[in-house]
């Protein structure tokens, strides 16, 4: 195989490097480490942090891309590689990716969801529910063997999850002698146990059954849901990286300089806010989409094309979403610039750039962190809404919005195909809820005025 680095992968690796550098700095300075320790000491922050870490691991595995080498036709020929870009998550989920059925099948089903013309062993043509090619194919008699087989595999999966969690808890989770574990620490390990039990169940059952059913073209819904996590995470994180420089620069400049600079920046973000956000984003996405479709020679693979549209969506959301944070920073800087330490620096002739970088920026970073963490869940939901209305990510890319868009017509079927919509809802709800709870914990830790009394 040959590694492939997409633009979104490169940005994600850069962001991980920045996070690693930030973590290293936090370990060296107690004043910076104390608020984050408070976040993880609370039950809500610890539980949501573990859930977000689990989603982040899945997204990272789905960002390690490669192409497979094709078999050599003649000795001495240069290596040839396929055009399908896959990820490490695809390799781990090979049974789910390759276990494609004809059409719909319900969760844990052993037969298709719709009747088809069949010829029985005695030669009689009937319409019945045929057996699935992969789901439960190992069962000779599903009527009598299904529940014993599922129970046995589920118990094995739960035992595997406990065996994987127990060594970690023995090595890192036990409270030290004389120091009782904090509520957040206990909640974090309990959440990690639930995550590993769930992972054990899926590892034991998913290769043999379609745990969440299949969609119209027979793809495993669990596979589609796990592949959609990366898209949601990238929308939330890359959009943040794009809008942060605009919000910081313009918001702080407007509050510090005032006068015509403040008037110009206020006019800019007031004009942007006066345009309906969905219409502005939709128009920009359609312009980018036309450019991508009229220049197919710009992209070597379908993955590169979908990645370009994803980055374009992140850029558009970033360029239109910085106004709220800029307005918040402007108001805070208007207050800070009148304080004694800023007035003293100006009286001693300190340059404006140094005052902005050394005195104002550190004093507004808590607002920046709080706003960014809170906005993350909104950006994930924005992708789902935009993809649902057809102006989001590429239709061939896995995302929660595309899953919901594909499932909306299934609700009009008889009988109703409900599991694809339910799976997208559960995964999206869990991700957004964890992000919101974590944001609330961060707000309480970093903003003294917002702490509970």
Report yes or no on 172 lying in a domain.
Answer: no
Tokens of 52: 């977000």
How many structural domains compose the chain? 1
pLDDT band for position 407 (cuts 50, 70, 90) = confident
Tell me how far CA of residue 325 lies from CA of 172, 291, 373, in angstroms: 38, 31, 12
Report yes or no on 184 lying in a domain.
Answer: no
CA dihedral defined by 216, 221, 225, 226, rounded to 10 degrees?
-130
Is residue 317's pLDDT more than 90? no
What's the CATH code of the domain at 258?
1.10.3720.10
Report yes or no on 327 lying in a domain.
Answer: yes
CA 283 to chain centroid, in Å, comes to 25
pLDDT digits (tens, 9 = 90+) for 110-133: 988 888 877 777 777 788 888 898
Report yes or no on 235 lying in a domain.
Answer: yes
Q: What is residue 74's predicted lDDT score, i.e. its pLDDT?
A: 67
The partner residues of 126 in beta bridges, in order of sequence, read 118
Alpha carbon distance 232, 34 (integer Å): 30
Tell me how far CA of residue 331 lies from CA of 259, 268, 344, 367, 452, in angstroms: 14, 16, 21, 11, 24
Q: What is residue 146's predicted lDDT score, i.e. its pLDDT?
A: 92
SS3 224: helix
Report yes or no on 97 lying in a domain.
Answer: no
Report yes or no on 285 lying in a domain.
Answer: yes
pLDDT digits (tens, 9 = 90+) for 234-268: 888 888 888 888 999 999 999 988 889 999 999 98
Report yes or no on 358 lying in a domain.
Answer: yes
Report yes or no on 305 lying in a domain.
Answer: yes
Give the number of C-alpha atoms closer than 13 A to the C-alpha of residue 233, restricted to the C-beta side.
29
Q: Which domain holds residue 364?
A: 225-450
The partner residues of 3 in beta bridges, in order of sequence, read 66
């Amino acid at each position: 195989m040959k590694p492939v680095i997409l633009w979104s992968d490169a940005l994600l690796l850069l962001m991980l490097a920045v996070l690693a550098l930030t973590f290293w700095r936090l370990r060296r300075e107690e004043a910076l480490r104390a608020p984050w320790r408070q976040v993880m000491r609370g039950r809500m922050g610890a539980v949501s942090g573990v859930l977000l870490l689990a989603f982040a691991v899945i997204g990272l595995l789905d960002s390690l891309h490669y192409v497979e080498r094709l078999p050599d036709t003649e000795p001495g020929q240069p290596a040839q590689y396929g055009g399908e870009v896959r990820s490490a998550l695809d390799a781990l989920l090979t049974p789910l990716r390759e276990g494609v059925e004809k059409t719909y099948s319900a969760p844990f089903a052993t037969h298709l969801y719709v009747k088809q013309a069949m010829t029985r062993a005695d030669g009689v043509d009937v319409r019945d529910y045929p057996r699935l090619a992969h789901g439960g194919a190992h069962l000779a008699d599903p009527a009598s063997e299904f529940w014993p087989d599922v129970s046995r595999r589920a118990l094995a999966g739960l035992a595997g999850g406990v065996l994987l969690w127990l060594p970690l808890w023995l090595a890192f989770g036990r409270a030290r002698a004389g120091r009782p574990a904090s509520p957040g620490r206990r909640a974090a390990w309990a959440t990690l146990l639930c995550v590993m039990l769930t992972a054990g169940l899926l590892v034991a059952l998913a290769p043999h059954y379609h745990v969440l059913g299949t969609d119209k073209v027979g793809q495993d819904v669990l596979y589609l849901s796990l592949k959609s996590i990366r898209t949601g995470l990238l929308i939330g994180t890359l959009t943040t990286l794009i809008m942060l420089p605009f919000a910081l620069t313009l918001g702080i400049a407007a509050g510090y300089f005032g006068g015509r600079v403040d008037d110009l920046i206020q006019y800019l973000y007031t004009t942007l806010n006066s345009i309906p956000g969905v219409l502005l984003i939709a128009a920009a996405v359609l312009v980018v989409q036309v450019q991508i479709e009229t220049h197919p020679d710009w992209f070597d693979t379908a993955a590169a094309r979908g990645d370009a549209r994803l980055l374009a969506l992140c850029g558009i959301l970033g360029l239109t979403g910085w106004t709220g944070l800029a307005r918040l920073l402007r108001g805070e800087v208007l207050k800070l610039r009148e304080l004694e330490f800023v007035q003293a620096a100006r009286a001693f002739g300190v340059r404006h750039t140094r005052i902005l970088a050394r005195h104002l920026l550190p004093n507004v970073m808590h607002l920046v962190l709080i706003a960014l963490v809170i906005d993350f869940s909104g950006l994930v939901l924005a992708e789902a809404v935009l993809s649902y209305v057809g102006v989001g990510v590429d239709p061939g890319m896995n995302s929660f919005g595309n899953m919901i868009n594909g499932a909306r017509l299934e609700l009009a079927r008889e009988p109703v195909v409900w599991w694809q919509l339910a799976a997208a809802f559960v995964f999206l709800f869990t991700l957004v809820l964890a992000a919101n709870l974590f944001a609330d914990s961060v707000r309480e830790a970093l903003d003294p005025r917002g702490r509970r009394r």
